[in-house]
Structure formats: C-alpha cells, structure tokens
Amino acid sequence: MNPGTGPAPDRARSFSLGVGAYAATRPGYPTTAVRWAVPREARTVLDLAAGTGKLTAALVGLVPEVIAVEPSDEMRAELVRALPGVRALAGTAEATGLHDACVDAVTVGQAWHWFDAASASAEIARVLRPGGRLTVLWNVRDESEPWVAEFSRIVHRGDDLADHFDPPVLGPGFGPVEAERFSWVERIPTAALRPLAASRSFLLTMPDDERDARLAEIDELVATHPDLAGSEADLPYVTRAYRATVS
Ligand SMILES: C[S@@+](CC[C@H](N)C(=O)[O-])C[C@H]1O[C@@H](n2cnc3c(N)ncnc32)[C@H](O)[C@@H]1O
C-alpha cells in the first residue's frame, strides 16, 4: 500500500516509523465528540485513516459495525492487535476499495490534512449511503496552558503543517459543514511527553541529530517546568470536529 497521495506524502507515510510511540501516547477521543460525529441510527461506520485504532476504539460499542481503512501495514497491524473484532482493510481515502453506498457514516481522525481533498471527498461521497454523514476530527492541544504552549513551540518550530485544522473543503454532494469543539483533559505520565513528541510526523521525518536535539529540549522542559514536577500531568485538548451530510 502506498499512503500519502495528498500534500507532504513523505510525512503522510512516516507514521509507520513510530507505531509504538503513537499507540502508547497519542490521545483517544471524548465520547461526546464521537456521539456528535455519528448519527444515532447509524449501523455501519467507516473509520478512514484509522491508524492504530484510537478513534476506531471509541466507535466500537457505539455502532454495530465498524470498518477501519488504513494504508500503513504497520499501523493497521497494531489496530488489528488492539481491536481484533474490527474489519480492518488496506486502502486510502482516495481509494477505499469499498462498494458504493455501503456505510452510514465516515469518520476521519487526525488525517484529513494528509488527503487529496477533492479525491477523498468524491470517494467518501461514493461509499456513503444517501443521507450519510462525514465527520472530520482533530485533537488539538490547548495552548492556553503555558507548559503546553512551550511543548508545542519546541515540537512544531519550523513546521509548515502545524496548523491544519480548518473546515474540510468538500466536493459536490455534501451539504453545509457544521463545526463543534469539545474540551477535555487527558491525565498522562510526564515521561510520555518525549514519545508523544517523537510520534509527530515532523519529528519522524527529521534528520536524527535534529530530532535528538528537539527531544533533549522536551526532556529539559519536563525536568524544569514547575507544572511538570510530578510523575503525571493534565494535558488539555480541544477536539475540533466538522460534519456534513451527503445528499
Ligand atoms: C495522525 S494518524 C491518525 C490515525 C487515527 N485516525 C487517530 O486518530 O489516531 C494519520 C493516519 O493517516 C494515514 N494516512 C496518510 N495518508 C493517507 C491517505 N491518503 N489515505 C488514508 N490514510 C492516510 C496514515 O497512515 C496514518 O495512520
């Protein structure tokens, strides 16, 4: 499988390099956001670009059938290990390999910015049943917390793709895009901040010496910031969500 036909394909493909750190440290999704994403009557949901299954896991139990499509063999293998009951398929947003009109909803967590938006939009409209819903979500760290702002400054310094949370531009067939935000907090071990930083595509695709220098800055932040003095900390997130219905 060859993921990443959209912008920055090298970075889109880089997640395979950091599966363990991704699965261990990236956030899940709050139930309120997932309920908002999926119509109450939905029977089958496609989680597109499912990765290691962070959003997939939140869908399981809410809907009778969840299908995960993910191009990276390494990410998909972790999803299958964690969620053995989910049908997990190799495919991309631009070519899912699914039949026409076969799902009631499609979710995309933390991945729309990797897609070729026009092709993905057409493909999602094709696999959705009439009246079906697409929801695009991003977990965004809440930088009103000073240590979080400092963490983000270290991780994303020089990153052109750091801010990519705009509403998705959808093709023909979709109605207006509705937006919502969900604030929540994840309690994390402070030791997880280093692998969390290391799991970002920006760091995964850096030369080794640059990545080591960034991670040393994260270690310094964790060792010196008073709000990170304990073994755990509250990491605040805002989940930004956008949904639209296909006609
Ligand atoms: C940041 S991860 C998000 C994974 C998961 N949805 C989550 O919320 O944790 C981005 C995922 O998008 C996948 N991806 C990249 N380009 C893609 C494409 N064109 N079509 C489908 N998936 C793609 C990557 O392989 C990776 O697993």
Domains within the chain, CATH numbers bracketed: 9-139+163-185+237-245 (3.40.50.150)
Mean pLDDT of the chain: 95
Residue whose C-alpha is closest to residue 57's, from 80, 91, 25? 80
Q: Which residues line ligand 1 (CB under 6 A)?
A: 3-6, 12, 15, 26, 49-51, 54-55, 70-72, 75, 92-94, 109-111, 114-115
Looking at ligand 1, which atom is closest to the CA of residue 47? 6
Looking at ligand 1, which atom is closest to the CA of residue 115? 19
Residue 27, pLDDT score: 95
CA 219 / ligand 1 centre spacing (Å): 27
Looking at ligand 1, which atom is closest to the CA of residue 75? 27
> The tokens of 79 are what?
């999803």
pLDDT tens for residues 128-170? Answer: 999 999 999 999 999 999 999 999 999 999 998 777 899 999 9
CA 131 / ligand 1 centre spacing (Å): 25
Residue 48, pLDDT score: 98
pLDDT tens for residues 16-45? Answer: 888 999 999 999 999 999 999 999 999 999
Give the DSSP letter string of 88-132.
EE---SS---PPTT-EEEEEEES-GGGS-HHHHHHHHHHHEEEEE
